[in-house]
Structure 1
Amino acid sequence: MKKTLMLACVAMSLTGAAQEKPVITSRAGFTLPPPPVVEKKPVTDTYKVTGSADVSYTDNYRYLEDAKAPATRAFIDAQNVYTQQYLDKLTMLPRVRESMAALLKVDQMNMPTERNGVYFFSRRKADENQGSIYMRKGLHGADVKLIDGPSRSADGNTSVNFMGVTEDGSLLTYGVRVGGADESEVHFFDLATRKDVGEVLSSARYYGVSIAKDKKGVYYSRFTPHVGCKVYFHAFGTPMTADKLLLGGEYKGEKLGEIDGIGVRVTENGHWLVFNINRGVPAKREDILLKDLTKPDAPIVPLVYGIDARFGLDVVGDEFFIDTDWKAPNHRVLKAEVGVAPDAWKTILPEGKDVIESVSFVGGRMFVLRLKDVMGDLRVYTLDGKETGHIAFPGVGSGSGMAGRFKSDDGFYAFQSLITPPTYFHYDVKSGKSEVFYTQPSPFQSGQYELKEVFFTSKDGTRVPMFIAGKKGLKRDGTERLLMTGYGGFALAMRPDWNPEYAWWMEQGGWFALPDLRGGNEYGEVWHKAAMFEHKQNVFDDWFAAAEYLIANKYTSAEHFAIRGRSNGGLLMGAAMTQRPDLFAAIWCGYPLLDMLRYQYFLLGRTWTTEYGSSENPDQFAYIAKYSPYQNIKQGAKYPAIMFFTGDGDTRVDPMNARKMTPAMQEASRGGRPILLHYSIKGGHSAGVSMSQLVEDYADEMAFLWTETK
């Protein structure tokens, strides 16, 4: 009797608390019941802080970190039911799915890889859920399917991805991935028999897979959580348990741990095995080691080791070319020699005012892609650094570097933009002529839209670029909807690439904006470092300044302003909702980092401490705690409409971030706006879910953002 009375009192208390909040109302005019009641189980942590007293935080939803616990699964189910209640009321959703399918379900192809006049690539037909791997003899030959993707699973959520092919074009490597997970099985396909050879590397996160020149085995780097990468040689016909360890655990007495990613590859001529050791993500230091494969007992020797800078290696014959930011934040190209100190290496291309994004060696030439205010500039050089040509891209947009091999005259590059689907060009190095190899079809009418680049001023006076796109003649009176996305981290430049979601938004009559926030590589390592560690707030300040520019120039207003971001961009969304909820009407927060005091304990989180720092470090705790979204939720604040999106298939950013943030925001908000968790059971950080599933997920996202900015 007493137990029944206690439960009744608790229920009355919860009901009363829910009634104190504003009625949850969509901009579409319908109301929702209160979110599911989520139990609190407080856990308090105490942190050391340099120069200050210890600081304690209480986490009410720590138990939701355990993805397999019955309480967590019940929470996910309840949240998905609640989100579905919202989606069921969106009368526009069927139309959104139809138009999103028209944009997504088109023929798609990846950049080809050439071997002796034969081209290998992945391609997905318009009516297929997954792509397949093809070959084509000659530039204009017929496509021949080698490995079928759609038949791999009944639900269409198993994909195949092309990983490489031997120099003689006889043996192909491909991965098999389930859902959106990062892990893949590795398979090998014989081009002569058109069959798998029966060798499989079990499902894992691989940082490099490269077949030996004699094709008797394969070198691979395999990541193990909480351990790190180890490089092995697998002899075909033997069990993986017998694979020979080549590198891992330590080198030269220095530990190789969890944050040290090791890439491995065999050079084009088969002479060298190259190990790239990336100390963290992004790498604070890159080491390059070499093993001479012509000498069975040759040791692994360093080409460059122990320097806090980034070094990318291209091997041309037996010559070593290095693209580095060492003493050159905008990068330069050096010619390296084994056993010679980097200070004595010859400079091939000195650092310039525009950052070098990529360097490649194709057809006896060196191709260098620079970024000029984020847009690509591709130039051709001799191996001693003399410029011999320039490849012009067709307008404002995103041009790529050159892909190909040094001993082949076949090169490929791409161009796309926010209003132009990708086109791949074949480039004949001998003649210098380009021709279209493939253009992705689309119902999007590019000629009806315009794209421009503008510049705005951030809080501290920094000049920041931004791309803005929309229909020609679209009004600028503050009444139109606008969608903005961003990233700002990991030295990744945000190029104005094609995206069907953004195309859909513009088709409906909305503006789209992409600011290039500090933290990326748009202006080199200086731009990146300006938003790392204790400077992370610069990313958020750039973001808010971009929003204020768009509002001041009447592209939109706060009530019509939608934002979206994923991964590190999900952290940006978390900062936006907790620091400046007044600026935005609707937020989609995908696969996000949100609990920055604990992110390092989960999945790949430890590797990102070279970007963010760690709350375990007393010198770094204070600045992380100051912006960490989960710890900065304000009770009673008026938050905008929010959809968190994640899923069990995300094996990179732990879904615990969104699981914990959702109930905390639902409980705190007094804005009367929907706060939802869209939790996918199969979706994940990487590509791989079926096209049908992707259409649904994209449509749910866009319908939510469009509706809540009405």
Structure 2
Amino acid sequence: MRKVYLFAILFCLNFGNIFSQKNFNPPATKQIPVVDSLFGYIITDPYRWLEDKANPEVKDWSVKQDEYARQWIALNTKPIEGLNEEIRRYIDRDYRSAPFFKGNREFFFARKKGEQQNKLYTRIKGKEKLIFDPLKIDPSGKTAIVSYVLNKTADKLAVGVQTKGNEIAKFYFIDTKTGKEIYPPIDNVYSLNWCRDNRFVYITYRSMDDIKNQKPLKTYLHKLGEGPEKDLLILATKDAKDFASIWDDENSSLTFISEGDFYSNTLKVVNSSAPSDTITLFSSKEFQAFPIAVKDGKIYFRTNFNAPNSKLMVASIEKPTFENWVDLIPENENPKEDFVVTNYNIIVREKKDVLSRLRLYSLDGKFIRELELPEFANVSGISYNKETGSIFVSLMSFTTPAKLYRLDEKELNWQFIFEDKPPIETSNLETKQVFYTSKDGTRIPMFIVYKKGLKLDGNNPTLLYGYGGFNVSMLPHYIGVTASFVNRGGVYAVACLRGGSEYGENWHKQGMLK
């Protein structure tokens, strides 16, 4: 990874010099034209054949291109003093993640300089305790923690690992006080949720064969410690593109079931007091709805039903079907990302001009005020711990790593909890947001990060990044080792293209030409 960063920064810093050299002659690439008609346009792609990474000819092409590029840079660019060491210090260092909490328990990830993977720790009576180390499973360092699921009381943990970046997880089951395995691990797991009875889990399997043959997902009730042949099938999708999930709400006797695709779903509920009765709450081929809280006899739903930017609706547990839902916090021009329902209020995380902020509402949906942040930053995450009455807010900017703050749910006072302090100087960098006009006249936002005092005259080496897909927003995020490039006179720009969700569902659909 360090070599990849170094190569990219060297390329950008020497960009003008590279293409002014007469001896830049990379290995030739053959062309095999493929013609497509897309949205009324004829597109000719001469390099489609390079997408087949299993093709020996493609592998050979990749090796030769890489070898030539590295040789050319070694011969034609000057070493950048201190860059190699700076990137090494950033990547290989003592690291600790922000803590995360459940009930009265605290957990965090950490690794020491020289270690290749994060380990999972807890804190018990002020003392740190290692509870899961992927290096014990795979000393080569090629197995990483990719997910974790705590049960309601946080005394049991299901932790998923993947090896060599594959898409298949293996889950281990851990006692979070001792770090000992309490059940045999389960392989080929796509998703997993604890049941209310912690002897069981809801589990969706997914093998490499399932992925290769695009088999529909199936979810089972699995008793821990028993073989999969005893599993009970409880959910099955009909198409590989569809999703299905089931989970027990931790604050009630309700179990929710969601089935659907990327754009729509059917939501059902089962009450453990009447387990034979399954009630369909919501069903649509155009919209989605998900429960985000159950409190005081009410279910709160986040939905985009006739609300592309999302809204909050509510219904009673006694009359939970959609015709009884009532708008609580309606849609507005700003996309809503999260709703947190506490004992005293509702906090909404929403985006305005690609910057997330927090707005405070009463429990009956009346807007009170915007919550002023303790510093200028993007709100990158928010969560609620009902047991302790704490709201945890993560803040981040292009030049500041994630910082974690705690808000008391009643007083709403900010308390600093944690920040990462990587060894790269960013205090001399600044960020500005600009807007430019797209081909069709649409106003597009873009962030620019540069060194203070740098003249932005179009002559600086610039790394421009854009995504514009899958409803993903390019919100301000810590640039990490890219700061090494910016500190040396480079400019880093992020264009917030359509196809993401920067301005809601309409922005997303425009990127799909809909």
Structure 2-normalised TM-score? 0.85
Aligned residue number for residue 505 of structure 2: 525
CA separation of 1:199/1:61 partners in 2, compared to 1, >3 Å: closer, same or farther? same
Q: Distance in 2 between matches of 1:147 and 1:110?
A: 15
Q: Distance in 2 between matches of 1:367 and 1:400?
A: 14
1:215-234 equivalences in 2 (<5 Å): 215-223=198-206, 224-225=210-211, 226-234=214-222
Q: Tell me which amino acid in the other structure corresponds to 2:312.
A: V
- The answer as to 2:253 corresponding to 1:261 is no
Report how far residue 474 of structure 1 moved: 0.6
Report how far residue 390 of structure 1 moved: 4.2
- Select which of 379, 382, 402 maps to 2:382: 402
- Select which of 290, 305, 308 maps to 1:312: 290
- Select which of 347, 356, 359 maps to 2:336: 356
- The answer as to 2:52 corresponding to 1:65 is yes
SS of 1:447's equivalent in the other structure is coil
1:146-165 equivalences in 2 (<5 Å): 146-165=131-150
Q: Distance in 2 between matches of 1:426 and 1:202?
A: 37
Report how far residue 334 of structure 1 moved: 0.2
Instruction: Please state which structure has a larger fraction of its residues in strand.
Output: 2
Unaligned stretches of 5+ in structure 2? 1-16
Aligned residue number for residue 549 of structure 1: none
1:375-418 deviation per Cα after TM superposition (whole angstroms, max 9, x unaligned): 12112333322345643235543213421233431221111111
Aligned residue number for residue 14 of structure 2: none
Aligned residue number for residue 331 of structure 1: 310
Q: Distance in 2 between matches of 1:110 and 1:484?
A: 28
Q: Distance in 1 between matches of 2:418 and 2:18?
A: 43
Q: Distance in 2 between matches of 1:321 and 1:169?
A: 24
Report how far residue 227 of structure 1 moved: 1.7
Aligned residue number for residue 298 of structure 1: 276
Q: Distance in 2 between matches of 1:491 and 1:56?
A: 24
Count of aligned positions: 490
CA separation of 1:275/1:257 partners in 2, compared to 1, >3 Å: closer, same or farther? same
1:165-314 equivalences in 2 (<5 Å): 165-204=150-189, 206=190, 208-223=191-206, 224-225=210-211, 226-249=214-237, 256-269=238-251, 271-279=253-261, 283-295=262-274, 297-314=275-292
Report how far residue 530 of structure 1 moved: 1.6
2:280 and 2:321 in contact (8 A); partners too: no
Aligned residue number for residue 102 of structure 1: 89
Report how far residue 49 of structure 1 moved: 9.3
1:217 and 1:236 in contact (8 A); partners too: yes
The percent of aligned pairs where both chains have the same amino acid is 25
Aligned residue number for residue 71 of structure 2: 85
- Select which of 487, 491, 501 maps to 2:467: 487
Whose RCO is larger (CA < 8 A, sep 6+)?
1
Q: Tell me which amino acid in the other structure corresponds to 2:382.
A: M
- The answer as to 2:436 corresponding to 1:432 is no
- Select which of 108, 113, 122 maps to 2:100: 113
CA separation of 1:361/1:49 partners in 2, compared to 1, >3 Å: closer, same or farther? closer
Q: Distance in 1 between matches of 2:338 and 2:398?
A: 21
1:416-459 deviation per Cα after TM superposition (whole angstroms, max 9, x unaligned): 11111111112222332222211101233333121122222222
Q: Distance in 2 between matches of 1:353 and 1:524?
A: 9
Select between 383-392 and 447-456 the one with higher mean Cα deviation.
383-392
Q: Distance in 1 between matches of 2:357 and 2:509?
A: 23
1:22-41 equivalences in 2 (<5 Å): 26-27=18-19, 29=21, 31=23, 34-35=26-27
1:539-581 deviation per Cα after TM superposition (whole angstroms, max 9, x unaligned): xxxxxxxxxxxxxxxxxxxxxxxxxxxxxxxxxxxxxxxxxxx
Report how far residue 160 of structure 1 moved: 1.8
Q: Tell me which amino acid in the other structure corresponds to 1:271.
A: S
- Select which of 123, 130, 134 maps to 1:136: 123
Q: Distance in 1 between matches of 2:90 and 2:435?
A: 30
CA separation of 1:177/1:353 partners in 2, compared to 1, >3 Å: closer, same or farther? same
Q: Distance in 1 between matches of 2:20 and 2:127?
A: 50
Q: Tell me which amino acid in the other structure corresponds to 2:131.
A: L
Q: Tell me which amino acid in the other structure corresponds to 2:416.
A: V
1:363 and 1:410 in contact (8 A); partners too: no
Q: Distance in 2 between matches of 1:343 and 1:95?
A: 65
Report how far residue 480 of structure 1 moved: 1.4
Report how far residue 64 of structure 1 moved: 6.6
CA separation of 1:299/1:31 partners in 2, compared to 1, >3 Å: closer, same or farther? farther
2:400 and 2:478 in contact (8 A); partners too: yes
Report how far residue 243 of structure 1 moved: 1.5
Q: Distance in 2 between matches of 1:359 and 1:495?
A: 18
SS of 1:400's equivalent in the other structure is strand
Q: Tell me which amino acid in the other structure corresponds to 1:135.
A: T
CA separation of 1:388/1:43 partners in 2, compared to 1, >3 Å: closer, same or farther? closer
Aligned residue number for residue 512 of structure 1: 492
Q: Distance in 1 between matches of 2:474 and 2:507?
A: 13
CA separation of 1:419/1:203 partners in 2, compared to 1, >3 Å: closer, same or farther? same
2:469 and 2:498 in contact (8 A); partners too: yes
Report how far residue 145 of structure 1 moved: 1.8
2:97 and 2:420 in contact (8 A); partners too: no
Aligned residue number for residue 430 of structure 2: 450
Q: Tell me which amino acid in the other structure corresponds to 1:432.
A: L
Aligned residue number for residue 634 of structure 1: none
1:412 and 1:424 in contact (8 A); partners too: yes
Q: Distance in 1 between matches of 2:221 and 2:194?
A: 9
Aligned residue number for residue 3 of structure 2: none
Report how far residue 309 of structure 1 moved: 1.3
Unaligned stretches of 5+ in structure 1? 1-24, 250-255, 536-710
2:350 and 2:358 in contact (8 A); partners too: yes
2:53 and 2:59 in contact (8 A); partners too: no
Q: Tell me which amino acid in the other structure corresponds to 1:181.
A: N
CA separation of 1:192/1:363 partners in 2, compared to 1, >3 Å: closer, same or farther? same
CA separation of 1:59/1:522 partners in 2, compared to 1, >3 Å: closer, same or farther? closer
Select between 363-372 and 147-156 the one with higher mean Cα deviation.
147-156
CA separation of 1:469/1:173 partners in 2, compared to 1, >3 Å: closer, same or farther? same
RMSD: 3.2
Q: Distance in 1 between matches of 2:24 and 2:40?
A: 48
1:36 and 1:78 in contact (8 A); partners too: no
Q: Tell me which amino acid in the other structure corresponds to 1:265.
A: W
CA separation of 1:98/1:316 partners in 2, compared to 1, >3 Å: closer, same or farther? same
1:87 and 1:93 in contact (8 A); partners too: no
